[in-house]
Amino acid sequence: MAAISAAAPYVARARDLHNRALVRGWLYAVLLVLFALVLVGGATRLTESGLSITEWQPIHGVIPPLNDAEWQEEFQRYQQIPQYTELHKGMSVEAFKSIFWWEWAHRILARSVGLVFALPLLVLWATRRIERGLGPKLVGILLLGGLQGAIGWWMVASGLVDRVSVSQYRLATHLTLAALIFTATMVVARGLAPHSEPAADRSTQRLAGFIVLLALVQIYLGGLVAGLDAGLSYNTWPLMDGKIIPGDLLILEPAWRNFFESPKTVQFIHRLGAYTVFTVALWHMVATRMRLPGSTHARRATLLFGLVLVQASIGIGTLLMHVPLHMALTHQGFALIVLGLATAHWRGTKGAYPLPQEIALRS
């Protein structure tokens, strides 16, 4: 009996670590689906496909048109909106199908990520593999996913009546919420991972967290750029309109509108955001290597700066090449990679979540 009692803590620890590995593997799978969803969403925007499905049918919408009559019916709905009458009048049914499939794929992936998250969550919870304190975090992410679906339709609805494209405000909100869901999922997954080193000092933690915030802001600005097609003009670097600081940045009234509605100003602010992320990531790398030389924290900070450098190069290349589809999607996808590593690094500087048995011992 004494031997069994002595072994109990080790058995409990092994069980907790096994459960965490299962939950972490599931969350990494969710992150992959989220990554694919954001990429397909970017392609949907860049190919101007987002308004091809003019109704929100969460259940019936899973089934695409199956015959010529259904395709004609779907096409006729599209012909009623301004994007068709003002931009695509005369489009053939075959051309319509090419944009329809992008939007349909985006919606199917959005539904899929909901299932990939909700069903395993129910199973893991029912089998008591979700430790105390983790449930509210996971339910919160699930609720954000539901909100994201509603915001997606709110975005599409903005382009069905008086506009030929969706509102850049709503597009940027939709993209940023997707990034927030991605960030929250990564935080939980990384918090459940084993950590080989103690938590970093508070200064390192704060700066790592600040980089995550900057990356989210930059993604929001990227959403504004995409919504305004701001990347299709001023395709030079480092000068913009022949200057370091271009003129006519505040021509709209009131002045705040320029930061959301002027393609020139929005592109310039996005450039400034990129310079800020680059500078702070460089500063963080140098400071962490000096403060914690040879540590995992320093190695991750170095890798993060390397990814930021690559992302900056991709962004400049995308601009100089006048935003070809493959480059724009690479830029968007790599933004998520940078965000993912920045988030994992920040969570890593804080150390792993305490194991349930550790919490029990403390109490």
pLDDT band, very low/low/confident/very high, at 9 (cuts 50, 70, 90): low
pLDDT in tens, 120-141: 999 999 999 998 889 999 999 9
Where are the chain's structural domains?
9-194, 197-363
Question: Can you say how many angstroms the Cα of residue 48 is from the centroid of all Cα atoms in its chain?
Answer: 20
pLDDT in tens, 274-332: 999 999 999 999 999 999 999 999 999 999 999 999 999 999 999 999 999 999 999 99
Mean pLDDT of 142-154: 94
Give yes or no for residue 107 having a pLDDT over 80.
Answer: yes
Q: Rg for the chain (alpha carbons), in Å?
A: 23
pTM, whole model, 2 decimals? 0.93
% the chain with pLDDT above 90: 79
Asked if residue 346 lies in contact with residue 188, where contact means CB atoms within 8 angstroms, the answer is no
pLDDT band, very low/low/confident/very high, at 270 (cuts 50, 70, 90): very high
> Taking the alpha carbons of 197, 199, 204, 210 in that order, is the dihedral positive or negative?
positive
CB 164: neighbour CB atoms within 10 A?
Answer: 15
Write the burial class of residue 208 (CB in 10 Å: 0-12 exposed, 13-18 middle, 19+ buried).
buried
> How many degrees, rounded to 5, is the angle at CA 323 between CA 322 and CA 329?
165
Helical residues (DSSP H) of 195-245, grouped into ranges: 202-228
Provide the CB-side half-sphere exposure for 251 (13 A, CA).
10
